[in-house]
Chains A and B, each alone.
Chain A
Amino acid sequence: MYSKKIVIRYTPDIVQQPIIYQFTKKYDLVFNILKARIFPRREGVIVLELTGLKENFDKGIRFLKEMGLHVEPLAKSVSQNTEKCVHCGACTAFCPTGALSFEKPSQKVLFDAEKCNGCELCVSCCPVRAMEINLL
Chain B
Amino acid sequence: MKKFKVEKTFREINEKIKKGRAVVVTAEEMIDVVEKHGTVEAARKIDVVTTGTFSAMCSSGAFLNLGHTSPRIRASKVWLNDVPAYGGIAAVDCYIGATEVVEGDPLNSVYPGEFNYGGGHVIEDLVSGNVVKLRMEGYGTDCYPARKQEKNININDLRDAFLFNPRNAYQNYSCAVNLSDTTIYTYMGMLRPRMANATYCTSGQLSPLFNDPYYRTIGVGTRIFLGGAQGFVAWPGTQHNPGASRTAKGVPRHGAGTLAVVGNLKEMSPQWLAGASMLGYGVSLYVGIGIPIPILNEEMAMFTAVKDEDIFTEVYDYGMDYPKGAAKAIAEVSYKDLRSGTIVIDGKNIVTAPLSSYYKARQIANLLKEWIEGGKFLLGEPQQTLPSV
Q: Which residues on A are within 8 Å of B, measured CB to CB?
A: 84, 86-94, 102, 106-109, 124-125, 127-129
Residues of B within 8 A of A127 (CB): 56, 189, 276-278, 284, 286, 355
Beta-carbon contact of B359 and A91 below 8 Å: no
Tell me which of A86, A87, A129 has the highest count of chain B C-beta atoms within 10 A of its own C-beta: A86
Question: Are the CB atoms of B354 and A88 closer together than 8 Å?
Answer: yes
Q: Is the CB of B277 within 8 A of A125?
A: no
CB proximity of B141 to chain A, nearest CB, Å: 42
Residues of A within 8 A of B276 (CB): 127-128
Contact partners of A94 in chain B: CB under 8 A: 190, 197, 353
Q: Could you say which of B54, B116, B275, B355 contacts A90, with CB atoms under 8 Å apart?
A: B355
> Is B353's CB under 8 angstroms from A86's CB?
no
B357 & A88 in contact (Cβ 8 Å cutoff): yes
Docked Cα-Cα span, A102 to B354, in Å, equals: 11
Chain A residues with CB under 8 Å of B63's CB are none
Partner of B353, one of A84, A89, A107: A89
Give the CA-CA distance A124 to B55 in the complex, in Å: 18
Query: Is A86 touching B286 in the complex (CB atoms < 8 A)?
Result: yes
Which B residues are CB-close (under 8 A) to A106?
A: 359
Bound complex: CA A128 to CA B284 (Å):
10
A109 contacts across to B, CB distance below 8 A: 359
Name the CB-closest residue of B to A87.
B359
Q: What are 11 A-B contacts defined by CB distance under 8 Å?
A: A86-B286, A88-B356, A89-B353, A90-B199, A93-B352, A107-B359, A125-B189, A125-B190, A125-B279, A127-B355, A128-B276
**Which of the listed residues B54, B274, B353 has the most CB atoms from chain A within 10 Å of its own CB?**
B353
Q: Is A124 a contact partner of B190 (Cβ separation < 8 A)?
A: yes
B173 contacts the other chain (Cβ, under 8 Å)? Answer: no
